[in-house]
Amino acid sequence: MQRLLYIDVDTLVVGDLAGLATLDLGGKTVGAVTDRDMPVRSDIGIDSVEQYFNSGVLLIDIAKWKAQRISEKALKIISEEPDLIKGYPDQDALNMALRNDWYRLEAKYNVMRLYVPNEVPKRRFEEFLKDQKIIHYNGKKPWFSDCEHRLRHVYQQYARLSPRPAAVAVAPVVLTEEKRKMLRKARAVEFYFDHPELVAVWRRLKALVGR
C-alpha cells in the first residue's frame, strides 16, 4: 500500500512517525485528527465536533484518494459551493469530500492547542512531549506575540537551532483592547496551571481573609 503523509508548514515533528507506515486505516481513504476547535457544521452534514477533522496532518491512502478523485471533488466544492466554506477552504472542502471516509488518528499525531491539557504545568511539558509526535500551531503562530498555543516555547527551542538568527524573533502584534483582554486572560490561565504552589498559597490567603 502506497501512502502519503501530508503535514502543514506550521508544525513541528517531535516524535517517531514510523508507526504510521503500517497503521490500519480500517479501509478509509485518510487518517486525520478530530479538530475540537471547530463548531458543529450541520450545514455540510457534520452533526458533531467528532465528525470534523483537521487537515493539517493527513495520512493518505494514495490509491483510494485517486480512485475517488478527492482532489477534484474538493476543488469542485470550493468552486461551486463557496457559501459552504467558512474560513478554511481546503479543510471544509476535504471534510465534505471525505465525509465518513476518514480514520481517527490519535491526537499525538496533530497536537493542536486544545489538545494540550491545562492541568499539565510547564515544568512537566518535557514529560508530556515524550508521547507526542507532531505539534500543530493551529490558530495564532508562535512567531507572533499573540500565540495562545501552550507549546509555543517548543517552537523557540527549535528556532534557536536554526542558522538564521532571525528565526527566534517574535513579531509584536497590535491588538484591539478586546483582544488584549482575551490574551491577558489566556496568559493568566497559563500562569494558574504553571504555578500550582502559588495558587495553593493564594487559596489559603483567600480562605483566611474570608473568615
**Number of C-alpha atoms within 13 angstroms, CB side, residue 182?**
8
As given in the structure block, the three cell numbers for residue 34 are 478530530
- Residue 2 above 70 pLDDT? yes
Q: Which of 13-22, 126-135, 166-175, 199-208 has the lowest mean pLDDT?
A: 199-208
Q: Which of 18-22, 177-181, 198-202 has the lowest mean pLDDT?
A: 198-202
pLDDT of 198 reads: 76
- Can you tell me the mean pLDDT for 20-29? 95
- Residue 38's pLDDT band (cuts 50, 70, 90): confident
Name residue, grid cell 490509491: 63
Rg (CA), the chain: 20
SS3 174: coil
Name the E strands within the chain: 3-7, 11-13, 30-34, 53-61, 102-104, 134-136
pTM over 0.85: yes
Tell me which residue of 8, 4, 12, 6 sits closest to 153, measured CA to CA.
12
> Pairing relation of β-strands 134-136 and 3-7?
unpaired
- Can you tell me the mean pLDDT for 186-206? 81
- Residue 207 above 80 pLDDT? no
pLDDT of 211 reads: 62
Q: Which of 57-61, 165-169, 194-198, 207-211 has the lowest mean pLDDT?
A: 207-211
As given in the structure block, the three cell numbers for residue 148 are 495562545
What is 73-120 written as a DSSP string? Answer: HHHHHHHH-GGG--S-HHHHHHHHHTTT-EEE--GGGSB-GGGS-TTS
